[in-house]
A and B are shown apart, each in its own frame.
Chain A
Amino acid sequence: MNWGLFFDLTVSGLTLGSLYALIALGYSMVYGILKLLNFAHGDVYMVGAFLGWYALHALGGPLNPTFTGAVVLLLMFIVAMLGCGVLGVAIERFAYRPLRNAPRIAPLISALGVSIFLQNSALLIFGAAFRDYNTFALIGVKTYSIGQLFFSVPQLLTVVTAIGLMIALTVFVARSRLGKAMRSTSFDREAASMMGIDVDRVISVTFFIGSALAGAAGVMFALVFGQIYHFMGFIAGLKGFTAAVLGGIGSIPGAMVGGLIVGLAESYATGYLPQGSTFQNLYVFALLILVILIRPSGLFGRAAISKV
């Protein structure tokens, strides 16, 4: 067995996987509370990548940044996460909240509308050309190795940041008062509002956190892969959703594990399966169908009990 290739694929799979996991978290949290497929989530991720790009260029660009690389990176993440969080809250307020008691299909259509609106607004403003982060100029080209395991700085940064964000989220949901309110809202919205929980506020916070994570993922994607464009959110959103479904939608640890599985599967498919680089998405699709056939509620999901 070629261990070098295996390690390479694993590293890139983990990198991709942590991006998908961050996107999946947003889907999963929103779905857990509103039972809504937020199709616009992938486009929020795209907006995050562009916000990061603008922040980078507002700070002098990758070639002669105003501060050292680390500070610039931090500011990029802050701008992208805050901007996307606000965007997510606005989307919820404007497109989903008025439809909370409408037939189930109405918010889905509204989400589709928001998605196409964001995509084409980005096309209008950013243009159709690819933008480049030029990560090499910003934080260097150095590659580290442990034995045959090679990884670059952006890859390491992505995995570590993603893990950090996920731990922070887990602690927030498990320990804080607001996290508790989120859990109870997702368990039973009506009962939660009767217990004096401000459900609207909890939903806003959920959208803020989910969208901020997507924004962070957008910046990370751009750091690792360099190029961003207006249509990048669509396929990433699809993969993120696949990850959320794989892990069991509505479950936070499920979204993380699901993301890693999808990322690794895509990476291994690229390397090992016939014509993997063209058909990688088909292989991920097949994996999704397989998991759904065996465990319809996902790996970590509970079977839904519906009462009349």
Chain B
Amino acid sequence: MDQPPDTPRIGVDEWVASVEGKRERYTGVRGAVLQRWERLPPAARVLVFAVPAAVFPFVTSEGNLFRFGLFTLVYALLALGLNIVVGFAGLLDLGYVAFFGCGAYLYAILASPQFGYHWQAEAAIPVVVLGTAIVGLLVGLPSRRLLGDYLAILTLFFGQAFVVFVNNANRISFPFFGHVDLTGGSNGIANIDPFNFFGFKIDTTRKQYYLLLIAVALVLILLAFVNESRTGRAWRALREDPLAAEVMSIPVNRLKLLAFVFGAGVAGLTGAIYGTIATAALPGDYDVGLLITIYAIMILGGFGSIMGIVVGAVIVSSVPELLRSSANARPLFYGAILIAILVKLRPWRLLAAELGGLVAFGFAIHAVASAAYPRLVHGQSIGSGLFARGLDHWMLFPSNSVKIADVAYILLVAAIVMYPQLGRLWRAVLLPPLLYLVMFVWENLLLVQIGGATRLILLGAMLVALMNIRPQGLFGTATVEIV
């Protein structure tokens, strides 16, 4: 049947049709990889992650395994649990890290010299998971009546309350037991036992790594089953549209609570494992910084996408570790900028003109500064090697960089906010100075403080930028808004 080209096809949802169109548009290397990937059976997709993960301990040192392997897996587990709450049920749980802390402290109470209990892991883990889930239930109950945003603030408050509580719970007096030191206050609980399964101790980094891998696999399998179950379908339904779900007689409140408790349970399990890795439960470990990290992982991966979370965990846990030293940070930073420019500036003539402009601008500024204000070029760039020494002849390094760099940083933030408001021509003309400013701030301020604030600044900026570019996350699928 012939149809005029502009009318929608009858019986085919417009959005579904456009997705197929998008899939057909995959071209080039990326398209070939994506098509190959989508044709793989699920088991093979799992192998793509499982094989490198299983081999990893044999190709790296103990220290690297601890820094990269263990933390990636802990983050992945946490993000998987959070994904149930946020990705499936659509609840914004900002107290999630407190459940993680609950798990660690509960296990610490059950298996450390603090109270003299030394439970076997097979008994302690169920108790910890159940206990954390019950805490989750108690927190979730009052928020049952709440709209989504109120839940966010309530849980955020709960997270804070948890930190205050464990910081001070070493001087609580209970009605019947008298004075009890429950959490060790700000010193935390030290010397937590390693897991002890029927006499088999998980006491080396490699054993812990495999234990975590097994835990991740178990949670993934559980998620896969839940995803296909009635409950999983109902969760997705209520994420898309709670009102429609309720009309379909899905018990919205009960399911939300269930998701919340489920997430808390996973966090509790992770907390117990983390407790044995760190061998101590400290109040500072369960604060907002970790919460942001976990959210960054989940968002980077995309809400509700399990594969995305694994990739996100690898990126978010390893990039800040790599950023710790300026030798690694510099190539990463310039590489990211270069890629962004290569992707954004399309006709190659424009790209060449901008890059040439940047180089020329740098030399011009450097020449003017060394003639007029020699103090501006007295400093040196951090590190050694050809690149660093070359930078000395191109970039400004003021001898008292702190104050100038602070001003430059504020200028840079203002410039980046203003930049998208400009017209096309101005944007093209002002790009080299802007890039130069970015590099100036990077070399003089951010690289100097690479171990401290820089990483979180980059994380925060990344969150905002990602939400601007792709609100559904890297691997998430855009939800359809039907008006």
Residues of A within 8 A of B (CB): 31, 35, 37, 90, 93-95, 98-99, 101-110, 112-121, 123-125, 234-235, 238, 241-242, 245, 275, 278-279, 281-282, 285, 288-289, 292-293, 296, 304, 306, 308
Given A117-B461, A306-B243, A125:B150 Cβ within 8 A: no
Q: Are B460 and A106 in contact (CB under 8 A)?
A: no
- Residue B156 interfacial (CB < 8 Å): yes
**Which residue of the partner chain, among B154, B421, B452, B460, contacts A292 with CB atoms under 8 Å?**
B154
B463 and chain A: residue at smallest CB distance: A113
CA distance A295 to B464 in the complex (A): 34
Q: Chain A contacts of B481 at CB under 8 A?
A: 101, 103
Given A109-B467, A114-B464, A123-B452, A242:B157 Cβ within 8 A: yes
Q: Chain B contacts of A288 at CB under 8 A?
A: 154, 157
Q: Chain B contacts of A98 at CB under 8 A?
A: 468
Q: Besides A117-B464, A288-B154, 7 other CB < 8 A contacts?
A: A105-B303, A108-B149, A113-B464, A242-B153, A275-B168, A292-B154, A304-B147
Given A242-B157, A279-B168, A292:B464 Cβ within 8 A: no
What are 18 A-B pairs with beta-carbon distances under 8 A? Answer: A90-B417, A93-B421, A98-B468, A109-B295, A109-B467, A112-B295, A116-B463, A119-B456, A120-B453, A125-B406, A234-B288, A241-B153, A242-B157, A278-B164, A279-B165, A285-B157, A292-B146, A296-B150
Q: Chain A contacts of B413 at CB under 8 A?
A: 121
Q: Are A279 and B164 in contact (CB under 8 A)?
A: yes
Q: Chain A contacts of B292 at CB under 8 A?
A: 112, 116
CA distance A41 to B10 in the complex (A): 48
Q: Are B462 and A293 in contact (CB under 8 A)?
A: no
CA distance A99 to B453 in the complex (A): 27
- Residue B479 interfacial (CB < 8 Å): yes
CA distance A106 to B464 in the complex (A): 9
Q: Chain B contacts of A95 at CB under 8 A?
A: 464, 467-468
Q: Chain B contacts of A241 at CB under 8 A?
A: 153
| Most A Cβ at <10 Å: residue of B149, B445, B449, B481 | B149
Q: Are A110 and B153 in contact (CB under 8 A)?
A: no
Given A99-B471, A121-B409, A110:B463 Cβ within 8 A: yes
Q: Which of B427-466 contact A (CB under 8 A)?
A: 445-446, 449, 452-454, 456-457, 459-464
Q: Are A106 and B471 in contact (CB under 8 A)?
A: yes
B164 and chain A: residue at smallest CB distance: A281
Q: Which of B383-420 contact A (CB under 8 A)?
A: 406, 409-410, 413-414, 417, 420
Q: How far is the CB of B479 from chain A (nearest CB, A)?
A: 6
CA distance A113 to B460 in the complex (A): 4
Given A114-B460, A288-B154, A293-B142, A282:B453 Cβ within 8 A: no
Q: Are A103 and B479 in contact (CB under 8 A)?
A: yes
